[in-house]
């Protein structure tokens, strides 16, 4: 009988112990306290009757090990508990690494965080060459550090440059890249993975050693490497907002990768990290993301054919995204010559995405079928209208489409400025229309708003959310209100920024103030990017009669419409805004410009545009890139005791409620 | 009683003329593009097909069972079998017939069948001498053996064998297809001027049909570079008798009459039809374009292969008690002007009708107003495997356009065969 709850050991004729992790009552393997404690027992038992070799593998289809149990992080309320948690893993994996007989991790599917740290503590690693295989130390994204030996062993295996890149960005590598980096000893197809692991452990050869240069970089030259890496990190994240990457650098370069060795009073200590609100907020963002992923899970809806009408930038990119996710896409526009550019764009995207795998890229491209006559609509499981924002044109289109669409298919509009109610008015069954609102650029923006009008069929909204989830985007259910959530909060923010320009503040100073605050891009640059004409139209729709900012009007009148025109608030060259000297940033500038965004978010919560404050935070973070370390605007409001009382919701009353 | 065979829908790529270099699309690319467009507009899913059958005369070495390759690439799913048939110029028609046979046998109800070839991508091959030299070199063990083998190399070994010329040459009689057309011209006294006039008419009819929008079976292609291919590009609107007269005979170089311009063009293209049983039509609520009523294959002298249509169509006419002009429209694939004119002549030739067709009398004069109404392969091109499917599809479209009727599509087949199908819409 198996003495363990989560582990299984099978000894074969070669006296190899095959140690399978199969965490009870969970679809994936997570290294919870219980699982780690049991692993210690497993090692005890192996010590009593040592095998010739040991191979760690997973009993889950989902992957190898997904990492530590993040749920447990939320309960770390004291530095003491954090030290205990880190110490347990650090010592356990040191013990694993010290085992005299050969050990191997057989990695198929995800191998993240603590999972990779376990694999690194083995003498060999075998990765299965499949798209799902992914090795990463994503701790930094949660504001924490790979404290179970990752900071010690990853640089020893790959050299510090690749290791720091993985640890400081949290980015993963696939099996082939892992082999190239030396992170795994073998990259093999699944059919021979057991043989490969067996051959490796029976070879008894010593663990792979780093080349001399890499050894030097990971030894005497650590300081040089660390300095360079720090400069790179500083360009992306400020220490006051994101302490974790700085802590990783410090722990690796000065403390041998041992998080416990950093004295508590250093700003890079475990104690400091756990005390930082960033860590709490990033963990919160992680769970918000999980919550978004959960929408549409229950509908059982699965799309295989998507029909997109409108082959412009948005429609074409939606089509390409869906085709890249395995769906057949019929792409409709008024003429084939309007569709061809979208195909060309998609071809380039797929080529890059498939990195030389021409067969795969061709398969993706073939899934996009030009469909001038719109005949694919009859087979489609999801129909998305992405034509220009004109109510009459949309009415004409939808009225013609409705009789041809399958009863169970999702009929969606990608409108950003028209009311779902108004668009649906022309339908026999207006309740079937939902909004599926993508953001530009489709390939980069993780959030998609799923918009319901008051009488939208909830089952259809659930299907729409399921579709969004199916294409690996984060669905956010929102009510039909002007600007939905994301544009409703971005509008007042960009407006305030442009008013500052009118008052004489340099765009450079404004953008600097907000990137310093933690926004991924300054608001003026953002206006240039979305287009001044779009901003003008959206501003009118969102703020009603209020006069548009003076500079905005002038620039629009002069045809300086932003990046697409080569000139807006900035001049644009080679896709980059030409910024002058920043100059002095006025006191409180960021606060002033961010305040309308915070107010607008609160209004959206009060007016039930989103179901609750958490979803508002999730939407604004994943829809606008709003500084994740804050945990989102609502969290930010709540966490700021000194924040001014919210202004009376004057503007809010001007906004029509979702009908 | 045999059950009716419905043609639900069909589509083809534009026929793209080979321009002395590999064309923009491989054969499988062409078949997939047309097939995806066709399948995406049906009332059934691609996975509902019982099988995919594709005719192809020269599949490339990496996709010899091109039927299965494209079935998978079109998203039909792993469960839908796919296979490839080869009957030279009638490969596409053979695919239709294979589908018919399986539907009649009750094995299949819904079949995607058609044809494809990308003749512009026909390979250059190493000569046998070169291949033997390679083999000897590969099997030499020692350095000395290898050096010796190197000295045996002759530059002449490098002269390539042009794959398409091999393919267009009858291996039994050693005549290239154009020479068999010369044979027919000789037999029935068809002169150069008649051939050129026929070729010119083909171009004029295609131009007129393009202008009138009568090739709506074409689905446009978009290359990965965004390049658009919307129409058959072999048609020459500036063709004149003077220009045609300038061309030198190609096959019997000095004294012949058959030129490149009064022959079909070397072209890339694909054509598909969806064939269905009664049961499939009812199950999926399909609205068929028409029916394929009868099929006939025939064999004849390989040196007269261009008369294949006469031998295949005549038994169908007899079975249904029809005269040549009882049909509303005819397609005879235009491999060569001489060969189409030869077919018309044969039906009017007492000796030929008696001796070769076993008829008591001549069948008569086929009304050329009913023949190849929208032009043919001389102007459109002849992607060998695709043509048989194209003429059946286009004939049905002509009949439908005219409010219904009956017609025969027939094709001559290199090697001395003919194929014909009676359709109605």
Q: Which domain does A407 fall in, by range?
A: 305-480
DSSP structure string for B370-393 = GBSTT--HHHH---HHHHHHHHHH
Quick check: A344 and B224 CB within 8 A? yes
Query: Is B353 a catalytic site residue?
Result: no
Report the chain B residue with the minimal C-alpha distance to residue A307: B40
A319 to chain B, minimum CA–CA distance in Å? 15
Question: Is A290 domain-assigned?
Answer: no
Query: Is B412 a catalytic site residue?
Result: yes
The answer on A594 and A451 residing in a single domain is no
| Rg of chain A in Å (alpha carbons) | 27
Whole-angstrom distance, CA of residue A173 vs CA of residue A131: 10
Backbone angles phi, psi at B79, to 5 degrees: -80, -15
A458-500 per-position pLDDT tens digit: 999 999 999 999 999 999 999 999 999 999 999 999 999 999 9
Cβ-Cβ contacts under 8 Å, B77 against chain A: none
pLDDT score for B70? 98
pLDDT score for A582? 83
pLDDT score for A235? 87
Q: Nearest-CA neighbor of A578 among A624, A536, A524, A533?
A: A524
B41 to chain A, minimum CA–CA distance in Å? 5
Report the chain A residue with the minimal C-alpha distance to residue B76: A328
Question: Is A175 domain-assigned?
Answer: yes
Residue A581 has pLDDT above 90, yes or no: no
Residue that terminates a domain, selected from A480, A509, A539: A480
pLDDT score for A75? 81
Contact A452, A477 (CB under 8 A): yes
Cβ-Cβ contacts under 8 Å, A304 against chain B: 45
Mean pLDDT score, A504-513: 94
Residue A25 has pLDDT above 70, yes or no: yes
Domains of chain B (ranges plus CATH)?
5-123+266-290 (3.40.47.10), 177-213+292-424 (3.40.47.10)
Question: Is A426 domain-assigned?
Answer: yes
The answer on A620 and A596 residing in a single domain is yes
Q: How confident is the model at residue A656 (pLDDT cuts 50, 70, 90)?
A: very low
Question: Is A158 domain-assigned?
Answer: yes
A387-436 per-position pLDDT tens digit: 998 999 999 999 999 999 999 999 999 998 889 999 999 999 999 999 99
Cβ-Cβ contacts under 8 Å, B41 against chain A: 371, 373, 375-376, 378-379
A344 to chain B, minimum CA–CA distance in Å? 4
| Residue predicted with more confidence, B409 or A440 | B409
Helix-strand-coil split of chain B, %, nearest 5: 45, 20, 35
Whole-angstrom distance, CA of residue B105 vs CA of residue B89: 26
Structural domain count, chain A: 3
A568 to chain B, minimum CA–CA distance in Å? 30
Cβ-Cβ contacts under 8 Å, A341 against chain B: 226
Using CA of residue A264, residue A266, residue A267, residue A270, what is the dihedral sign? negative
Cβ-Cβ contacts under 8 Å, A303 against chain B: none
Contact B316, B420 (CB under 8 A): yes
The answer on A266 and A222 residing in a single domain is yes
Residue A614 has pLDDT above 70, yes or no: yes
Contact B93, B388 (CB under 8 A): yes
CB atoms within 10 A of CB A558: 12
For residue A128, what are its two tokens? 């299965």
Residue A542 has pLDDT above 90, yes or no: no
CATH of the domain at A320: 3.40.50.720
Question: Is A344 domain-assigned?
Answer: yes
From the list A347, A363, A376, the residue facing B40 with the nearest CB is A376
Mutate to test the interface with A, among B11, B32, B40, B231 (most CBs of A within 10 A): B40
**ipTM here:** 0.90
pLDDT score for B369? 96
B338 to chain A, minimum CA–CA distance in Å? 38
Whole-angstrom distance, CA of residue B335 vs CA of residue B350: 24
The answer on A103 and A12 residing in a single domain is yes
| Rg of chain B in Å (alpha carbons) | 22
Quick check: B40 and A341 CB within 8 A? no
Q: Nearest-CA neighbor of A30 among A39, A42, A18?
A: A39
pLDDT score for A548? 86
Report the chain B residue with the minimal C-alpha distance to residue A376: B41
Q: How confident is the model at residue A653 (pLDDT cuts 50, 70, 90)?
A: very low
Query: Is B382 a catalytic site residue?
Result: yes
Report the chain A residue with the minimal C-alpha distance to residue B230: A336
| Residue predicted with more confidence, B131 or A510 | A510
Residue A383 has pLDDT above 90, yes or no: yes
The answer on A511 and A414 residing in a single domain is no
Q: Is B418 helix (H, G, I), strand (E, B) or coil?
A: strand
pLDDT score for A212? 92
What residues form DSSP beta bridges with B259? B249
Whole-angstrom distance, CA of residue A287 vs CA of residue A635: 14
From the list A328, A340, A371, the residue facing B75 with the nearest CB is A328
Question: Is A188 domain-assigned?
Answer: yes
The answer on A141 and A30 residing in a single domain is yes
Whole-angstrom distance, CA of residue A411 vs CA of residue A401: 9
pLDDT score for A638? 85
The answer on A372 and A234 residing in a single domain is no
Question: Is A529 domain-assigned?
Answer: yes
The answer on A457 and A501 residing in a single domain is no
Whole-angstrom distance, CA of residue A303 vs CA of residue A214: 48
Residue that terminates a domain, selected from A257, A275, A293: A275
A286-317 per-position pLDDT tens digit: 999 999 999 978 888 999 999 999 999 999 99
Whole-angstrom distance, CA of residue A151 vs CA of residue A285: 24
From the list A363, A370, A375, the residue facing B220 with the nearest CB is A370
pLDDT score for A651? 34
The answer on A456 and A393 residing in a single domain is yes
Q: Is A347 on the interface with B (CB under 8 A)?
A: yes
Mean per-residue pLDDT over chain A, rounded: 92
Q: Is B24 on the interface with A (CB under 8 A)?
A: no
CATH of the domain at A141: 3.90.226.10
Q: Is A346 helix (H, G, I), strand (E, B) or coil?
A: helix
From the list B40, B74, B224, the residue facing A379 with the nearest CB is B40
Quick check: B32 and A366 CB within 8 A? yes
Which of 72-111 (B) contact A at CB < 8 A?
73-75
- Helix ranges (DSSP H) in A12-112: 33-48, 70-73, 79-97
Mean pLDDT score, A599-623: 96
CATH of the domain at A501: 1.10.1040.50
Contacts of B126 (CB under 8 A, 6+ apart): B134, B157, B160, B161
Cβ-Cβ contacts under 8 Å, A363 against chain B: 73
From the list A341, A371, A372, the residue facing B40 with the nearest CB is A371
Mean pLDDT score, A342-369: 93
> What is this structure's pTM?
0.90
What b/e sequence results for A281-296 when a residue is b if at least 16 CB atoms lie within 10 Å of its CB, and e otherwise?
bbbbbbebbeebeebb
The answer on A499 and A430 residing in a single domain is no
Mutate to test the interface with B, among A308, A365, A379 (most CBs of B within 10 A): A379
What b/e sequence results for B234-255 when a residue is b if at least 16 CB atoms lie within 10 Å of its CB, and e otherwise?
bbbeebeeeebeeeebbbbeee
| Residue predicted with more confidence, B345 or A642 | B345
The answer on A391 and A371 residing in a single domain is yes
B229 to chain A, minimum CA–CA distance in Å? 10
Q: How confident is the model at residue A646 (pLDDT cuts 50, 70, 90)?
A: very low
Contact A137, A167 (CB under 8 A): yes
Question: Is A603 domain-assigned?
Answer: yes
pLDDT tens for chain B, residues 1 to 425: 478 999 999 999 999 999 888 999 999 999 999 999 999 999 999 999 999 999 999 999 899 999 999 999 999 999 999 999 999 999 999 999 999 999 999 999 999 999 999 999 888 888 888 888 888 888 888 888 888 888 888 888 888 888 788 888 998 999 999 999 999 999 999 999 999 999 999 999 999 999 999 999 999 999 999 999 999 999 999 999 999 999 999 998 889 999 999 999 999 999 999 999 999 999 999 999 999 999 999 999 999 999 999 999 999 999 999 999 999 999 999 999 999 999 999 999 999 999 999 999 999 999 999 999 999 999 999 999 999 999 999 999 999 999 999 999 999 999 999 999 999 99
Report the chain A residue with the minimal C-alpha distance to residue B25: A362
pLDDT score for A543? 65
Report the chain B residue with the minimal C-alpha distance to residue A337: B228
The answer on A161 and A96 residing in a single domain is yes
- Helix ranges (DSSP H) in A243-312: 243-255, 270-275, 277-294
Quick check: B37 and A365 CB within 8 A? no
B9-42 per-position pLDDT tens digit: 999 999 999 988 899 999 999 999 999 999 999 9
pLDDT score for A642? 41
A114-156 per-position pLDDT tens digit: 999 999 999 999 999 999 999 999 999 999 999 999 999 999 9
Q: Is B57 on the interface with A (CB under 8 A)?
A: no
Q: What percent of chain A clears pLDDT 90, i.e. is strictly above it?
A: 83
């Amino acid at each position: 009988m198996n003495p363990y709850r989560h582990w299984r050991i099978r000894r074969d004729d070669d006296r190899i112990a095959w140690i399978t992790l199969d965490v009870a009552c969970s679809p994936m393997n997570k290294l919870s306290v219980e699982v780690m404690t049991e692993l210690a027992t497993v090692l005890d038992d192996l010590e009593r009757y040592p095998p010739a070799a040991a191979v760690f593998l997973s009993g889950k289809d989902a992957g190898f090990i997904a990492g530590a149990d993040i749920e447990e992080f939320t309960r770390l309320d004291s530095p003491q508990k954090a030290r205990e948690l880190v110490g347990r893993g650090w010592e356990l994996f040191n013990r694993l690494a010290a085992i005299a007989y050969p050990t191997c991790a057989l990695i198929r599917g995800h191998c993240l965080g603590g999972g990779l740290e376990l694999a690194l503590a083995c003498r060999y690693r075998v990765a299965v060459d499949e798209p799902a295989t992914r090795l990463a130390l994503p701790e930094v994204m949660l504001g924490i550090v790979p404290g179970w030996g990752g900071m010690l062993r990853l640089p020893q295996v790959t050299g510090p440059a690749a290791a720091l890149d993985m640890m400081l960005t949290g980015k993963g590598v696939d099996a082939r890249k892992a082999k190239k980096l030396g992170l795994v000893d073998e990259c093999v197809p699944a059919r021979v993975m057991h043989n490969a692991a067996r051959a490796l452990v029976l070879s008894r050869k010593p663990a792979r050693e780093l080349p001399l240069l890499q050894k030097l970089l990971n030894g005497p030259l650590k300081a040089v490497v660390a300095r360079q890496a720090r400069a790179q990190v500083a360009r992306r994240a400020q220490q006051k907002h994101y302490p974790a990457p700085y802590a990783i650098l410090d722990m690796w370069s000065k403390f041998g990768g041992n998080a416990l060795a950093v004295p508590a009073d250093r700003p890079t200590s475990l104690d400091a990290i756990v005390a930082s609100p960033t860590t709490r907020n990033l963990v919160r963002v992680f769970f918000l993301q999980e919550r978004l992923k959960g929408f549409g899970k229950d509908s059982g809806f699965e799309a295989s054919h998507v029909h997109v009408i409108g082959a412009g930038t948005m429609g074409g990119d939606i089509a390409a995204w869906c085709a890249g996710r395995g769906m057949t896409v019929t792409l409709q526009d008024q003429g084939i010559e309007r569709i061809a550019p979208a195909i060309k764009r998609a071809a380039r995207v797929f080529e890059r995405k498939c990195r030389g795998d021409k067969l795969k890229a061709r398969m993706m491209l073939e899934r996009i079928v030009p469909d001038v006559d719109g005949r694919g609509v009859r087979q489609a499981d999801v129909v998305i209208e992405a034509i220009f924002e004109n109510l009459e044109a949309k009415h004409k289109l939808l009225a013609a489409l409705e009789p041809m669409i399958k009863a169970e298919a999702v009929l969606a509009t990608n409108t950003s400025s028209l009311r779902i109610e108004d668009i649906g008015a022309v339908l026999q069954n207006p309740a079937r229309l939902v909004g599926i609102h993508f953001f530009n650029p489709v390939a980069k923006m993780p959030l998609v708003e799923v918009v319901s009008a008051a009488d939208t069929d909830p089952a259809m909204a659930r299907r729409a959310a399921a579709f969004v989830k199916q294409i690996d985007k984060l669905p956010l259910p929102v009510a039909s209100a002007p600007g939905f959530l994301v544009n409703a909060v971005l509008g007042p923010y960009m407006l305030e920024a442009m008013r500052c320009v009118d008052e004489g503040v340099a765009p450079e100073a404004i953008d600097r103030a907000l990137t310093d605050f933690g926004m991924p891009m300054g608001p003026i640059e953002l206006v240039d990017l979305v287009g001044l004409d779009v901003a003008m139209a959206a501003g009118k729709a969102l703020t009603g009669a209020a006069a548009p900012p003076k500079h905005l009007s002038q620039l629009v009148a002069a045809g300086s419409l932003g990046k697409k025109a080569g000139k807006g608030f900035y001049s644009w060259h080679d896709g980059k805004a030409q910024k002058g000297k920043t100059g002095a940033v006025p006191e409180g500038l960021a606060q002033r410009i961010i305040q309308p965004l915070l107010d607008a978010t609160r209004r959206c919560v009060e007016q039930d545009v989103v179901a609750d404050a958490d979803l508002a935070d999730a939407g604004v973070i994943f829809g606008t890139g709003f500084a994740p370390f804050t945990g989102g605007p609502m969290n930010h409001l709540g966490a700021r005791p000194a924040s001014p009382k919210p202004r009376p919701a004057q503007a809010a009353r001007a906004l029509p409620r979702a009908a | 009683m045999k059950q009716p065979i419905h043609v639900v829908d069909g589509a083809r790529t534009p026929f793209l003329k080979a321009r002395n270099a590999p064309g923009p699309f491989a054969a499988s690319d062409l078949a997939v593009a047309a097939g995806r467009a066709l399948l995406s507009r049906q009332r059934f899913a691609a996975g509902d097909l019982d099988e995919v059958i594709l005719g192809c005369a020269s599949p490339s070495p990496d996709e010899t069972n091109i039927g299965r390759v494209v079935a998978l690439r079109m998203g039909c799913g792993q469960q839908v079998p796919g296979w490839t048939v080869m009957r030279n110029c009638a490969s596409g028609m053979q695919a239709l017939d294979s589908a018919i046979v399986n539907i009649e046998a009750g094995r299949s109800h819904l079949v995607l069948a058609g044809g494809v070839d990308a003749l512009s991508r026909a390979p250059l091959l190493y000569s046998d001498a070169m291949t033997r030299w390679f083999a000897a070199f590969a099997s030499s063990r020692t350095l000395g053996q290898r050096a010796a083998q190197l000295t045996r190399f002759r530059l002449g070994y490098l002269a390539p064998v042009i794959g398409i010329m091999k393919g267009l040459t009858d291996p039994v009689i050693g005549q290239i297809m154009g020479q068999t057309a010369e044979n027919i011209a000789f037999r029935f006294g068809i002169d150069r001027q008649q051939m050129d006039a026929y070729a010119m008419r083909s171009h004029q009819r295609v131009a007129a049909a393009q202008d009138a929008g009568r090739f709506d079976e074409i689905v446009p292609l978009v290359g990965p570079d965004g390049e658009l291919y919307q129409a058959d590009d072999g048609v020459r609107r500036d063709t004149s008798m003077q220009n045609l007269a300038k061309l030198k005979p190609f096959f019997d170089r000095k004294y012949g009459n058959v030129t490149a311009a009064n022959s079909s063009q070397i072209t890339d293209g694909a054509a598909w039809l969806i064939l269905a049983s009664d049961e499939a039509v009812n199950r999926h609520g399909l609205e068929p374009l028409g029916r394929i009523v009868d099929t006939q294959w025939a064999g004849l002298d390989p040196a007269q292969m261009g008369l294949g249509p006469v031998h295949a169509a005549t038994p169908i006419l007899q079975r249904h008690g029809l005269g040549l002009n009882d049909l509303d429209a005819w397609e005879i694939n235009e491999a060569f002007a001489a060969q189409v004119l030869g077919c018309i002549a044969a039906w009017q030739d007492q000796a030929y009708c008696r001796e070769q067709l076993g008829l008591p009398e001549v069948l008569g004069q086929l009304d050329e107003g009913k023949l190849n109404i929208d032009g043919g392969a001389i102007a459109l091109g002849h992607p060998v495997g695709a043509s048989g499917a194209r003429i059946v599809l286009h004939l049905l479209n002509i009949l439908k356009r005219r409010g219904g009727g009956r017609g025969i599509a027939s094709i001559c087949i290199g090697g001395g065969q003919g194929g014909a199908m009676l359709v109605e819409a």
